[in-house]
Amino acid sequence: MNYRITHRTSYVYSEPVAVSHHAARLRPRDTMTQKCREFRLGFDPEPDLKTEHTDSFGNQVSCFSIQKLHARFEVVSRSFVSLAPVLQPDPAQTPAWEDVAALFCDPVAVDLLDPCQFVFRSPLLVHELPQREFALPSFKKGRPVLAAVADLSRRIHREFVFDPRATTISTPLSEVLANKRGVCQDFAHLAIASLRAMGLPARYVSGYLRTRPPPGKARLVGVDASHAWVSCFVPGFGWVDFDPTNDCFTSLDHITVALGRDFSDVSPVRGIITGGGKHSVIVGVDVEPVE
């Protein structure tokens, strides 16, 4: 499956900005089943300084600075991505979740050091007890780890309401749990915190979702927008991605851009400015399938 993706981020300031510095994680990743064949960034106005590097999670980061007065700024990424089908393990044939969690207790084997970093707390996910209590019904004794993950995803989808007005980027997870409302970022954070509370590695994945519902079926939430889901580690297989917002494992409709411990590691565009007064941000995403 091939996609052309346009991601447009526009900033409008009430007062001129003297200097602005930004970092963007917008280039889709290359994986075993995904290949980014084209990628380019466009700017208005053109930055005075541009650099690129790869962060510790393997995401490509584009940094740019504007060092002249400006009242607006726009960055547009254009990508061409090819996806192949994802091979998913049989959840019933995966190891018991307790056995997986035991692998990440001291001492940890050298070949597990990478997933081990995703067991610990992270900047936006610092409370574990409420998430453990939420997760426990899915993690019955001896249950295969991926079967437990699928049940956790199903419960989040069933018990929480997708409501874009209920939360903001800074809404704490405790509030999401109490109100049972939020968006894909919130549901991904809840799933990650729940898995980590059980001693299991889990990481945050940002990307895009394109839906193509069959006749008579509901359209998936998140179409033509930035989306977020979760990756959990299964010994003997590797990382397996699942989408609690839509209660499914990822497929040809999920396009991976960046991954990290939580949203703070993968924000598509972030920055600091000097001046500007009040400002607004407008984001638009177009995911176009290409035969």
User: What six digits make up the tokens of 26?
Assistant: 């917008």
Average pLDDT for 155-181: 92
Tokens of 143: 């249950």
Does pLDDT of 222 surpass 90?
no
Residue 257 pLDDT > 80: yes
- 53 residue type, one letter: H
Hey, what are 204's tokens?
């945050």
Is the per-residue pLDDT at 213 higher than 80?
Answer: no
Whole-number mean pLDDT of the chain? 92
Instruction: Give all domains of the chain, ordered by start, each with its CATH number.
Output: 2-83+267-290 (2.60.40.2250), 91-251 (3.10.620.30)
Element (H, E) at 243: strand 238-243
**Is the pLDDT higher at 215 or at 290?**
290
pLDDT at 241 over 50: yes
Cα dihedral: 28, 12, 43, 78 (round 10): 30
pLDDT digits 0-9 by tens, 93-140: 999 999 999 999 988 999 999 999 999 999 999 767 899 999 999 999
pLDDT class of 223 with cuts at 50, 70, 90: low
**Tokens 């994802």 correspond to what residue?**
86
Residues 6+ apart with CB under 8 A from 172: none
Angle between helices 184-197 and 145-159 (to 10 degrees): 140
What integer pLDDT is reported at residue 155 of this predicted model? 97
| Comparison of pLDDT for 216 and 197, the residue scoring more | 197
From residue 156, give the alpha-carbon distance in Å to each of 151, 246, 287: 9, 9, 26
